[in-house]
A = this chain, B = another copy of it.
Amino acid sequence: MASSTPSGAGDGLAKFHSKVDELEEIFIEKLRDAIKIPSISAYPERRKDVFRMGEWVATKFRDVGVEVTLKDLGKQAGTDLDLPPLVLGRYGRDPNKPTLLVYSHYDVQPAAIEDGWKYDPWTLTIEENGRLCGRGTSDDKGPLIGWANMIEAFQKAGVDVPSNLVFCFEGMEETASFGLREALEDEADKFFADVDMVCVTDVVWVSDEQISIPQGLRGILFYILTITGADQDAHSGGFGGQISEPMVDMVNIFSSLVDSGGNILIPGVYDNVQPITNEEYESYQSLDISNNSLLGGTGGRSLHDDQADALVSRWKKPSLSLHRIESASPGAGAVTSITAKVAGKFSIRTVPNMRAEDIDKLVKKHIEDRFHSLGSKNDLHIDCAHQSDWFYEQADHWNYQAAIQATKNVWGKTPALTCEGGSIPIALDFKQVLKKNVLLLPVGRPTDGAHSINALQWCIWLNRKSTTSEKLDKSNYINAVKLYGSYLAEAAVLWRNNQA
């Protein structure tokens, strides 16, 4: 369907694109400057650098004419740490243009040369093949700066920026997005009141080879099952066979949840799962994804021989993973003991049109029934500790159609419409709070190493030489600027058609 959308963006876009190419060196210097600041949100001792990075972002956007406000988010719950501000920006208020809310983040994952990085993570290193290496290049400083670059290129090309822009840049994305949801709710009817569409640039292509736009994310229900027998661990010599063992009930219940083929065994779980269409299946089959890429480089054993089946299993079907079974009794340690209390953790990934409350009932009923059938003398407790819904946007919305056309304009290829197996809570937050269409627009590639940490540990284990770093290909960095501009231009046209 994407290919049937005509480009309506006109002449200005060509001028803009060539201006972007002209400014390449300036844009790379800006990224070099940004990479120097180790804005790691996870480490309290780096919090000051996250603040510094927020100021840097505010300055760079003010430089291109954006009105910037720093929204204070107070303290990090349960700590004395100040949360870094939301950098809120506004560019243009033309009632004849749509208003786009852009989300990105200026904090980064931890990194240290000692972890086995190929280069100093805080110095931009450009490899011969054009890879821009450094922490944050791909996630998410490169994509963030691209928006300022875009405004600059339009201005220097003498072309009007085609849409109004509202920016929302966060400094805690890598650390649970503390304070974001509340801030969104607070600003929904104020700073974000006139937003027509949302764009999140914190995703990557489905594979290095396959340009894509994800339209769906799975949801999650995370459970903790606690089974209690004695008051304290017992010696298995002294009491084995005499007292009831919580671990025995636990493995029995766990074994009744999912089989070795990945099929969920809880009755009714699949009832509302939207069937895959032939069109989707065929499109998944034709995606350009290497086998290694399909397995995310984990060396995992695929349950599916066929690429489309593998992708369906992680994008369009629910899954149930058994994470761990932990001894929950204090002082537990003796390896031959009968554990008095065990905690089992598992999660279910959900897809359209599963209803979380239905699933929760089915899960609890199944586990309770199974437990009763055991005739156990132990006590059972089930807790759904965390829950987040699936996310899905129809791609025929003008917001997605604009992005599809823009991708064709810039990369010369129609992007595949894909999904992601994990969840991005921010996407759901924007959708739920603002009730507007939310586009996930990829900038980088999956091998960018966005979260490459503890690399050395892996290398030692695998007996490999370390070659880790985070990178963003120069082509992706520069094309992102063009992509944003094209997207705004296409969106403006489609929005106007839609208004008419």
The interface of chain A, by Cβ under 8 A from chain B, is 218, 220, 222, 229-245, 247-252, 254-255, 258-262, 295-296, 298-304, 310, 313-314, 317-325, 327, 330-331, 335-340, 345, 347, 349, 374-378, 420-423, 454, 457-458, 460-462
Are A298 and B234 in contact, with the CB atoms below 8 A?
Answer: yes
A247 to B324, CA, bound (A): 8
- With the chains together, A377 CA to B323 CA distance in Å? 18
A242: contacting residue among B229, B235, B302, CB under 8 A: B302
Residues of B within 8 A of A376 (CB): 260
Query: Separation in Å of the A452 CB from the closest CB of chain B?
Result: 12
Q: How far is the CB of A265 from chain B (nearest CB, A)?
A: 10
Nearest CB in chain B: distance from A248 CB, A: 5
A236 contact set on B, CB distance < 8 A = 319, 321, 323, 347, 349
Within the complex, which residue of B232, B238, B301 is in contact with A422, where a contact is CB–CB below 8 Å?
A: B238
User: Which residue of chain B has its CB nearest to the CB of A295?
Assistant: B243
Which of A242, A310, A374, A377 is most buried by chain B, counting CB atoms within 10 A of its CB?
A242
For A311, the closest partner residue in chain B by CB is: B242
Measured in the bound complex, the distance between the Cα atoms of B244 and A261 in whole Å is 7
A460-B338 Cα distance, complex, nearest whole Å: 21
Is the CB–CB distance between A241 and B314 below 8 Å?
yes
Instruction: Please name all residues of chain B whose beta carbon is closer than 8 Å to the beta carbon of A331 when the two chains form the complex.
Output: 454, 457-458, 461
**A246 smallest CB distance to B (angstroms):** 9
Interface hub of A243, A250, A295, A378 (most chain B Cβ within 10 A): A243
Beyond contacts A240-B347, A241-B303, A252-B255: 19 other A-B pairs, Cβ-Cβ < 8 A, are A230-B301, A231-B462, A232-B458, A233-B298, A235-B421, A236-B321, A237-B349, A240-B262, A242-B262, A242-B314, A244-B262, A245-B262, A245-B321, A245-B322, A247-B321, A298-B340, A323-B335, A324-B335, A330-B458
Chain B residues with CB below 8 A from A295, complex form: 230, 239, 242-243
Measured CA separation A459–B99 after assembly (Å):
62
Contact check, A300 vs B229: say whether CB atoms are below 8 A apart: yes
| 24 CB < 8 A contacts A-B | A220-B336, A232-B299, A236-B321, A236-B349, A237-B420, A240-B421, A241-B317, A241-B318, A242-B262, A242-B303, A242-B310, A247-B322, A251-B251, A255-B255, A260-B378, A300-B340, A323-B338, A324-B335, A325-B325, A330-B458, A330-B460, A331-B458, A331-B461, A335-B345
Q: Which residue of B lies closest to A424 (CB)?
A: B237
Given contacts A218-B237, A238-B420, A454-B331, whether A243 and B349 have CB atoms under 8 Å apart is no
CA distance A49 to B489 in the complex (A): 83
Most buried by B among A231, A254, A320, A325: A325
Bound state CA distance, A339 and B299, in angstroms? 12
Q: Which residues of B contact A254 (CB under 8 A)?
A: 247, 251, 255
| Residues of B with C-beta under 8 A to A347 | 236, 240, 336
Closest CB of chain B to A3's CB: distance in Å? 29
Residues of B within 8 A of A238 (CB): 296, 314, 420-422
Q: For residue A239, which residues in chain B have a CB less than 8 angstroms away from its CB? A: 295-296, 298, 300, 314, 421
A287 to B301 CA separation, bound complex (whole angstroms) = 56
CB pair B303–A243 under 8 Å, yes or no, is yes
Docked-complex contact A421 and B318, CB < 8 angstroms: no
Query: Are A232 and B319 in touch, CB under 8 angstroms?
Result: no
Whether A243 lies near B324 (C-beta < 8 A) is: no
Docked complex Cα distance between A6 and B211 (Å): 95
**CB nearest neighbor in B for A222:** B336
A240 touches B349 (CB 8 A): yes
Cβ A323 vs Cβ B336 within 8 A? yes
Q: Smallest CB–CB gap between A89 and chain B, Å?
A: 31
What residue of chain B has the Cβ atom nearest to residue A241's Cβ?
A: B319
The 3 closest A-B pairs by CB, nearest first: A237-B422, A241-B319, A231-B299
* A130 CB to nearest B CB, Å: 27
* Contact status of A302 and B262, CB under 8 A, knowing A238-B422, A322-B251, A462-B231: no
Which residues from chain B contact A299 at a C-beta distance below 8 Å?
A: 230-232, 340
Question: How many Å from the CB of A140 to the closest CB on chain B?
Answer: 18
